[in-house]
Structure 1
């Protein structure tokens, strides 16, 4: 394995400042763009990235308002707008043969990219992807206009603590260490994140419908943890049925946080999907 070269960047895409990282980037190499889930960041792929960076240009980004990206109170946090950020990033870097891989909410962003601009994507890898959620409840949307509503959002999301939240998404609790807890604590330290989340509550238009999904023709790999409490297995199987060119894999004794729980297994299935019987080193 060659020594990793990582560069960190801040740039405006779709009207909002976005933090992104390039790992062993070269414009002539095929690329994997990893997109994280809700209340997460590029941090969540730290164990998966090293397994690919010899062969691919790896790009990770922090979706606003998470991680090191802007916590704008004027940006419209719809899936379409988040997808446009990814599209503009892909075009700016002139990425080739892009594999879009999204975890949880990031999977829904990937699907929106494939719907909005299919030419940006060669294949999709969806890791316990969000699916079939509707828009926010009308009462919750109306409540989001109440002054200091963000404090309620923060209290609700923090009620179990970071450790409790991780125990809900990781099947084997022995995997939860200090590094993981510290990495997922970051969103709870900045009130601006929760202020922006009040906008996201209003702006989220709901996941793509079955009809929309059936029009996405990109080869897709769906990997699910059988112990996923956030996006249950049956939703993954339904998503597989709606994506007409898709492969579905379920993993025993694995929860929702696939990139953390079993990066080697995820990498192995991704290699099989991307190369068939060819080895990654070939």
Structure 2
């Protein structure tokens, strides 16, 4: 049976958010939260493989994909603010219990959702989405940390390399054993979105605000211990941004942790979508 994916919009706090939706609204829900610099487009191949059993919602964060992208003069981009909008969207859709799949920027948004409403989260799937100090690859993050500490022409120029097409292509291909499996449309698509007027300032603001995420980690770890929420960490072992120690770290606190490090990079779905889908379906079936 073919799966129909709906492409929808909702207005939350005056901002128009795009989201992909598939599966029966009566089925258990899973919310897919994308990372930088992409959008719900990263889930285009995963959604059909989940939607036969689950109600799938995959939003574009504000400033990404097909969602509104107000300038930094019109909206202050923080992970708290992006979580507010995501929370509002899920409330509008009537989702009160759901699993989350988080990747990259989707992780700090997902952690905030879980800490705000722990009773809502049925399970966590983290795919190269850090929740620990372990796993940060210093060769990438040093430039971001320098920029967070001091905004100078030099520190800004260093982080801006992540915004151009070559920097985005690097994210997709580094750590991938067979680069021919990665569709070039991915980095071209993302680069076009980031090239919209004013979007560079949006991304720079979020680079700075990423410093607010690590202070939440102790609360996240306590939540993992006390809630016993099931966690599946499925990771591209060649990720040059969040290394596999970030996956293994979840075993310290999650009472029910399943950890898999696969051959792949930061955007693992581009080369191992079927494997990840199989792991997710088996995991969610096991904990049901």
- Tell me whether the two structures share a fold, i.e. TM-score over 0.5: yes
Given the alignment of the two structures, is residue 214 of structure 1 paired with residue 222 of structure 2, yes or no?
yes
Aligned pairs (5 A) from 1:51-62: 51-62=49-60
State whether residues 154 and 188 of structure 1, in contact with CA within 8 Å, keep that contact through their aligned partners in structure 2: no
**Residues 1:182 and 1:25: Cα distance change in structure 2 (over 3 Å):** farther
What is the aligned residue count?
Answer: 272
- Corresponding residue of 1:23: 22
- Report what 1:235 is aligned to: 246
* Aligned residues: CA RMSD: 2.9
Query: Can you list the C-alpha shifts for 1:188-209, whole angstroms capped at 9, x where unaligned?
Result: 3213221212322343312332
Structure 1 pair 156/237, CA: closer, same or farther in 2 (3 Å)? closer
Aligned to 2:78: 78
Q: Which runs of 5+ in 1 are unaligned?
A: none
Q: Against the structure 1 CA distance between its residues 24 and 37, is the aligned structure 2 distance closer, same or farther, given a 3 Å change threshold?
A: same
CA distance in 2, matches of 1:153, 1:59: 31
The 1:210–1:165 alpha-carbon spacing in structure 2 relative to 1, beyond 3 Å, is: same
Cα drift, residue 243 of structure 1: 2.8
Alpha-carbon distance between aligned partners in 2 of 1:267 and 1:159, rounded to the nearest angstrom: 28
**Structure 1 CA distance, aligned partners of 2:57 and 2:110?**
14
**Partners of 1:36 and 1:42 within 8 A in 2:** yes
- 8 Å CA contact 1:254–1:261 kept in 2: the answer is yes
- 1:44 Cα deviation after fit: 0.4
State the shift of 1:70 in Å.
Answer: 2.4
The answer for unaligned runs of 5 or more in structure 2 is: none
Offset, 1:173: 0.5
After TM superposition, the structure 1 stretch with the greater mean CA deviation from structure 2, 152-161 or 53-62, is 152-161
Query: Matched residues in 2 for 1:171 and 1:16: separation?
Result: 40
- 1:276 matched to 2:281: no
SS of the aligned residue for 1:34 comes to strand
Q: Which residue of 2 aligns with 1:195?
A: 201
Does residue 236 of structure 2 align to residue 225 of structure 1? yes
- State the alpha-carbon separation in 2 of the partners of residues 54 and 11 from structure 1: 27
1:1-282 equivalent positions in 2, closer than 5 A = 1-13=1-13, 16-26=15-25, 28-72=26-70, 73=72, 74-95=74-95, 97-132=97-132, 137=145, 140=148, 142-143=150-151, 154-158=160-164, 160-168=166-174, 170-204=176-210, 205-207=212-214, 208-216=216-224, 217=227, 218-251=229-262, 253-276=263-286
Q: Distance in 2 between matches of 1:154 and 1:137?
A: 13
Deviating 4+ runs (over 6 angstroms): 149-152
